Structure 1
Amino acid sequence: MMKLELSKVPRELKVILELLKDQEEEQLAEKSINLFHKLDWSVFVNLCVHHRVYPLIYPRLKELPSTIVPVDILSFFERKFKNNTFHMLYLSSVMEELSRNLLDEKIRVLFLKGPVIAHDLYGDLSMRTSSDLDFLVPLDKLVQAETVLQRMGFVKDEYIKTILGDWKWRHHHFTYFHPDKKIKAEIHWRLHPGPGREPGFEHLWMNKRRSSLSESPLFSLGKEDLFSFLVKHGGRHGWSRLRWLTDIQRILKQDVNWKTAEGLLHSFHSLKEGKQAVSLAAHLLDASIPAGIDVKVDAGRELKSAQSAIFYLENKINLHTSPLPEEISSYHAAYLFSLMCFEQKFLHLASFLFPFPEDAETLPLPLKYHSLYYILHPFLWTWRKAVKETGYLKGQKS
């Protein structure tokens, strides 16, 4: 089988990948002396935290001979593991409260990630990290759902700039933060940023599952919709955190109707991300590919797509860093474009013809005249670009 080129991936990350593979304790112990020889433990720890996989790594380190892992390193992971367990339990209680309040108001809600995913894919809340609660509601219930959040004490982060209602398709969630609970909640009306096709809420609700995590009603995506969501989400982020890839590793072992799942990927233009996800999980984590998935991991196209994500592992990229370095930003834009089908590329390019919120900042107009931005947009965009380039050239000269 042809393999991915991993020569630029840090050795410490390769050790993490080895620990994340499904293998017996005896197998790992046999490799441990060579695997951990002259390991830079500070880099190893930093990467485990960056990739949010330390809850999976800690139990593996405990299995190793006591002479392998320094005591202070094991103690660090033990503290992180315990703190994460408490956090996930607390997050679960807030999630239950949130679900109960929304359902009491006749607002249907689907939880996308967080504790429901940890319980569903790992069978244990402590084995996965989660920093916030992501949930989906119908668009026509969005305002009502926001009122529920505010009543619970959540405060909206007004970071989204919008014009002419473009928030409905350019964006996919609003962010709220609870100052006392120290918990972030993201209320979705779409699964992913637009423009582009994705399953509607009615489809997702029809295929929902009730989580066994709670006695009170707690609903999450159906298995096939969850797989489609995970591959699209991970692909959109370049698989820059290994936690997203271990989610794929886990769901590949579950009872999923893979024919239906592949049909969903095809219908909503996510086949490239699906094949990329399976290929990465197979190459990096030795994940077994279910018989129902039509992916040739050593095929040229699949291998090339998987290889494009290795850049994010080589450089320990955090896409939430603002602003992103120019090199990273340019690579990511080209990477995302490469995953698009023809229709997605057309919609993506066409979206640039629609006015941007920056147009209103460049030339403020009264709200009743905002429709003029459809005409003014190309001129305002050209003006901003010229000013930016002129400023850059001046900076170069100085």
Structure 2
Amino acid sequence: MKGIQDNNLSIMPKELMLLLQIINLEKGKDTEPIIDKYFIDIDWELFLELARHHRIYPLVYSKLKMLDGKIIPLYVIRALYQEYKVNTFHMLQLSGEMERVSQLFRENNIRLLFLKGPAIAADIYGDISLRTSKDLDILIPITDLNEAEKLLLNCGYEKEEIESGLTKRKWGSYHVSYYHSQKKIQIEIHWRLFRAPAKEPSFNELWKRKRVSSLTSYPVFFFGKEDLFFYLVTHGAKHGWFRLRWLADIDQIIRKSNITKESYLFQTKYQLHLIGQALILASQLFKTPIHEEILPLTKEKRSRKLAELAKFYIVEMGHKYINQSSKDTLANSNHPFTKKTSIKNFFYIYLYEYSVKTNIHKLLFVLRLLNPNSADVKTLRLPKSLYFLYFLLRPFLIFWRKTRKSL
């Protein structure tokens, strides 16, 4: 087992690096080097905001007992405990609903596989309190979609309709959401893992390799080990790993499973560059030991390029989230990115989103990017007879908006 050299982590805020160091603490290991190096001039409000954004506060809280309680402010420890407690109650609630929905669907001859939620948390961490999950995601055959919707509606769930307009489209969708206002639980039903025409295993293939969760008394089915790894890698890469929880999942799976070249993922060549990217990031950020058999994936040029872009994406998306969610903007002079770099940020964000896609999805991405939306209309109002000009003017309108934001 080997690690990968930590290249270019200087763009990471020191508060984020501290969070990672706490998560990576091991029993019996000396913590003094971490205290001396990372507990310096920490913005504790930013520390908490990043823990919330990346959904890693349960892991952070679980490691606090390994540190001297005096080096972290008491209000920070209490805030983490409160988040941890609320999440534990939520995961218990989801566990009950997961079991009920599983029984309801199976009694009506609908096969279902859980993509995330308590079953996955229990499998990866052995403890549902150590992972967060906002909702329950379920994969079913597309032929059962109408029947599944009827069952949920009869149970008090309401369908969340897709907004109409220039920026929201129903075409190409692969899941639909339902929300129960009394239980305050959301369920997403998927009939594909990813947007078509992405290559992915069929439902029948996934069903053959399914596992049964040990969390509930009634059978709850979820992905086989390799399928879960493939899904989390692809899902995390698609979203630029902007929540480090996904990389924490990858870290735990690799530590507990022996993923080698014998895996069918490697035999079928499923997105090997994305697996390579995930291995690089997990090793550098979570100190994940990589098996020598699959270490060559981390040497591939495309994997390394995607990993470098992902680090930028992780930092910038965290910064964006905090600015949007906080009343008092937490962006300060110590942050590696400021408003003056918004054009640069815009370029690198879209470069990552473009680079991570397959060739067909790159084409669709460019077409969507060039397709006018409501922001263009607000920037420059044209009579309807001249709307066709928005297609030509869109690059200039985007540049204008980003330039104005940077002033």
Shorter chain as denominator, the TM-score bin is 0.7 to 0.9
1:346 aligns with 2:360: yes
Q: Which amino acid aligns with 2:71?
A: I
- Given that 2:140 and 2:190 are in contact with CA atoms closer than 8 Å, whether structure 1 keeps it comes out as yes
Aligned to 2:125: 122
CA distance in 1, matches of 2:399, 2:159: 39
The answer to whether the 8 A contact 2:110-2:148 is kept is yes
- Paired with 2:147 and 2:345, the residues of 1 have a C-alpha distance of 38
Select which of 194, 198, 201 maps to 1:199.
201
| 1:119 counterpart letter in structure 2 | A
1:335 paired residue number:
352
8 A contact 1:96–1:214 mirrored in 2: yes
The alpha carbon displacement at 1:43 in A equals: 1.0
Cα 1:151–1:380 shift into 2, 3 Å: farther
Match of 1:157 in 2: 160
Separation in structure 2 between the aligned mates of residue 132 and residue 295 of structure 1, nearest angstrom: 36
Aligned to 2:65, the other structure's residue is in SS state helix
| 2:116 is equivalent to residue 113 of structure 1 | yes
1:1-398 matches, cutoff 5 A: 2-21=5-24, 23-159=26-162, 170-256=172-258, 258-261=260-263, 263-264=264-265, 267=268, 269-295=270-296, 297=298, 300-315=301-316, 316=318, 330-340=347-357, 344-346=358-360, 348-349=362-363, 382=388, 384-386=390-392
| CA separation of 1:137 and 1:102: change in aligned 2, threshold 3 A | same
Partner amino acid for 2:257?
D
Work out the CA distance in 2 between the residues paired with 1:319 and 1:394.
Answer: 23
1:22-42 C-alpha deviation (Å, 9 max, x unpaired): 523542255324421321111
CA distance in 1, matches of 2:253, 2:399: 50
- Tell me how many residue pairs correspond in the alignment: 368
* Contact 1:223 1:256 (8 Å CA) reproduced: no
Structure 1 position 206, deviation (Å) = 0.5
- Report the AA paired with residue 264 of structure 1: L
In 2, the alpha carbon distance for the partners of 1:12 and 1:202 equals: 44
Deviations 1:87-110 (A, max 9, x none): 100111111111111111100000
Shift of 1:352: 7.5
Segments of 5+ residues of structure 2 without an aligned counterpart are: 325-341, 374-384
Q: Which residue identity lines up with residue 237 of structure 2 in the other structure?
A: G
Answer whether contact 2:371 2:391 (CA < 8 A) is retained. Answer: no
After superposition, give the CA deviation of every residue in 1:138-193 in whole Å (9 maximum; x if it has no partner). 0111111111111111111111669xxx957x222111111111111110001112
Cα distance in 1 for partners of 2:247, 2:87 equals 19
Task: Give the superposition deviation at 1:130.
Answer: 0.6
Matched residue type, 1:273: L
Q: Deviations over 1:74-98 (max 9, x none)?
A: 1111111111111100111111111
Change (3 A) 1:351 1:389: closer
Aligned partner of residue 135 in structure 1, secondary structure = strand
SS where residue 111 of structure 1 aligns? strand
Worse-matched range after superposition: 59-68 or 12-21: 59-68
Q: Calculate the TM-score normalised by the size of structure 1.
A: 0.82
Q: TM-score, normalised by structure 2?
A: 0.80
5+ long unaligned stretches in structure 1: 360-378
Residue 3 (structure 1) shift: 3.2
Say whether the 8 Å CA contact 2:276–2:300 is kept in structure 1. no
C-alpha RMSD over aligned residues: 3.4
Question: CA offset at residue 338 of structure 1?
Answer: 1.6
Identity, in percent, stands at: 36
| Counterpart contact for 1:62–1:74, Cα < 8 Å | no
1:279, 1:295 within 8 Å by CA — same for their partners in 2?
no
Deviations along 1:303-347, whole A, 9 cap, x unmatched? 32211101123221568999xx8865653432133224xxx3135
